[in-house]
């Protein structure tokens, strides 16, 4: 069977995701190709080959990616950042006609997730627990504090702030571009990593607490099980047509669950969910080979702790890559050179 070559966009620091796909491709062959606008993004050096590309808002972004896709005989594309999800969703049918699958939900689903006001309206319409949410014109002098403010189309924790009083609310409403305000939710924060087949069937999930968060990504976490959370997941999955990896965020307080965000892409902390059992990259590679996936709901380690740390790569004047304490050939592919 022909090897599956995978393209991961906006590689940045997504080393764990690249490792997941390398692991999935070990037996059948295939390469992991990465692209990024920054040639020093560390995750690039963990793929088999990588390329520098324009930013997603650049008109040359998609034509440049098409060249990479053709040159590397890409069969599967994994978009990773919110800013590009709609672009790939709108073009996935055209790529599929040429035998290239883009693992992304349909445009209507991407819109409902990326626009946090649309997310709120969806949850409210279907009576799924979600904090009260306000646009700037809905704010009054009688707001109940604390509140939480973030960009309507933001990602991670960028420009997201806790608001404790009206003075702070006035300031951050002006400071945050296109802001959205929510009631602050008490409880332990979680991410629910979920995988849906190409047909929208729920295949696997792993819920994990976000114990320590840095720059919007979980630094420490622990998997868990919550029957009520699984019930809500099944309802959400039946209402929105998802495809591929999705992550849903919220908080658990005693027996109460509140959701506050859905991202139709791989999460930044996917390594914990993979270590707990299911490798979503495996599912995607299997589908690319024409295999039909069977649900494995609840099949994961339900009490696995993750604690993360920083590491570094070092590049000499010839762009040879090394680690401080180990042989890089044991960790990264050979002949990994930047394509300018």
- In-domain check, residue 123: no
CATH code of the domain containing 237: 3.30.470.20
The pLDDT score that the predictor gives to residue 330 is: 60
Residues 98 and 173 in one domain: no
Say whether pLDDT at 167 is over 60. yes
CATH code of the domain containing 155: 3.30.1490.20
Residues 95 and 195 in one domain: no
As a whole number of angstroms, the distance between CA 208 and CA 130 comes to 19
Among residues 183, 203, 220, the one where a domain terminates is 183
The pLDDT score that the predictor gives to residue 216 is: 76
CA triple 27-51-84, angle to 5 deg: 90
Residues paired with residue 133 on neighbouring β-strands, in sequence order: 182
Total number of domains constituting the chain: 3
Say whether pLDDT at 213 is over 70. yes
> What are 37-82's pLDDT values in tens digits?
999 999 999 999 999 999 999 999 999 999 999 999 999 999 999 9
> What are 12-40's pLDDT values in tens digits?
999 999 999 999 998 888 999 999 999 99
Say whether pLDDT at 313 is over 80. yes
Residues 139 and 90 in one domain: no
Residues 54 and 151 in one domain: no
- In-domain check, residue 154: yes
Residues 27 and 98 in one domain: yes
> What are 251-286's pLDDT values in tens digits?
998 889 999 999 999 999 999 999 999 999 999 999
Compare 327 and 150 and report the one with higher pLDDT. 150
The pLDDT score that the predictor gives to residue 324 is: 72
The pLDDT score that the predictor gives to residue 318 is: 83
Say whether pLDDT at 336 is over 70. no
Under 8 Å between Cβ of 264 and 85: yes
Residues 322 and 241 in one domain: no
- In-domain check, residue 243: yes
The pLDDT score that the predictor gives to residue 155 is: 65
- In-domain check, residue 122: no
Banded model confidence at residue 340, pLDDT cuts 50, 70, 90: very low
Give the tokens for residue 120: 């709120």
As a whole number of angstroms, the distance between CA 31 and CA 79 comes to 16
Residues 178 and 190 in one domain: no
Average pLDDT, the chain: 92
The pLDDT score that the predictor gives to residue 298 is: 94
**Any idea of the CA torsion for 227, 112, 246, 197, to the nearest 10 degrees?**
90
Say whether pLDDT at 338 is over 60. no
Q: Which long-range contacts (CB under 8 A, 24 or more apart) does 137-143 make?
A: 139/169, 139/173, 139/181, 141/166, 143/169
The pLDDT score that the predictor gives to residue 326 is: 63
Compare 66 and 160 and report the one with higher pLDDT. 66
- Number of neighbours of residue 283 by Cβ within 10 angstroms: 23
The pLDDT score that the predictor gives to residue 299 is: 96
The pLDDT score that the predictor gives to residue 99 is: 94
- In-domain check, residue 331: yes
CATH code of the domain containing 44: 3.40.50.20
- In-domain check, residue 120: no
Banded model confidence at residue 310, pLDDT cuts 50, 70, 90: confident
Residues 191 and 302 in one domain: yes
Residues 53 and 95 in one domain: yes
Under 8 Å between Cβ of 129 and 256: yes
**Residue numbers of the domain that contains 200:** 109-114+186-307
Residues 89 and 157 in one domain: no
The pLDDT score that the predictor gives to residue 66 is: 97
Say whether pLDDT at 288 is over 60. yes
> What are 76-105's pLDDT values in tens digits?
999 999 999 999 999 999 999 999 999 999
Residues 77 and 173 in one domain: no
- In-domain check, residue 298: yes
Tell me the mean pLDDT in the region 217-221. Answer: 89
Tell me the mean pLDDT in the region 189-218. Answer: 93
Among residues 183, 199, 222, the one where a domain terminates is 183
Say whether pLDDT at 129 is over 90. yes
Residues 236 and 280 in one domain: yes
Compare 210 and 329 and report the one with higher pLDDT. 210
- In-domain check, residue 201: yes
């Amino acid at each position: 069977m022909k090897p599956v070559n995978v393209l991961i966009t906006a590689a940045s620091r997504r080393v764990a995701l690249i490792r997941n796909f390398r692991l999935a491709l070990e037996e059948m062959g295939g390469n992991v190709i990465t692209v990024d606008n920054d040639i020093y993004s560390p995750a690039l050096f963990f793929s088999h080959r990588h390329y520098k590309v324009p930013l997603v808002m650049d008109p040359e972004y998609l034509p440049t990616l098409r060249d990479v896709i053709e040159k590397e005989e890409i069969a599967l594309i994994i978009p990773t950042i919110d800013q590009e999800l709609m672009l790939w969703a709108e073009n996935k049918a055209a790529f599929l006609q040429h035998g290239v699958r883009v693992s992304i939900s349909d445009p209507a689903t991407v819109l409902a997730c990326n626009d946090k006001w649309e997310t709120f309206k969806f949850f409210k319409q279907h009576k799924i627990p979600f904090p009260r949410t306000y646009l700037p014109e809905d704010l009054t002098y009688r707001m109940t504090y604390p509140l939480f403010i973030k960009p309507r189309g933001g990602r991670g924790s960028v420009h997201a702030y806790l608001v404790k009083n009206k003075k702070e609310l006035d300031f951050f409403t002006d400071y945050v571009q296109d802001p959205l305000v929510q009631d602050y939710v008490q409880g332990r924060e979680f991410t629910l990593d979920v995988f849906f087949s190409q047909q929208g069937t729920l295949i696997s999930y792993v819920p994990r607490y976000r114990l320590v968060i840095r720059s919007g990504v979980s630094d420490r976490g622990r998997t868990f099980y919550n029957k009520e959370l699984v019930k809500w997941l099944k309802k959400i999955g039946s209402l929105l047509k998802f495809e591929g990896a999705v992550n849903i965020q919220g908080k658990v307080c005693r027996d109460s669950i509140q959701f506050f965000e859905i991202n139709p892409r791989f999460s930044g902390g996917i390594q914990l969910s993979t270590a707990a059992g299911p490798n979503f990259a495996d599912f995607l590679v299997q589908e690319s080979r024409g295999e039909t996936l069977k649900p494995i709901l609840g099949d994961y380690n339900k009490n696995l702790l993750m604690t993360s740390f920083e590491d570094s790569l070092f590049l000499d004047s010839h762009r040879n890559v090394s680690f401080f304490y180990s042989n890089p050939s044991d960790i990264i592919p050979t002949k990994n050179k930047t394509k300018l």
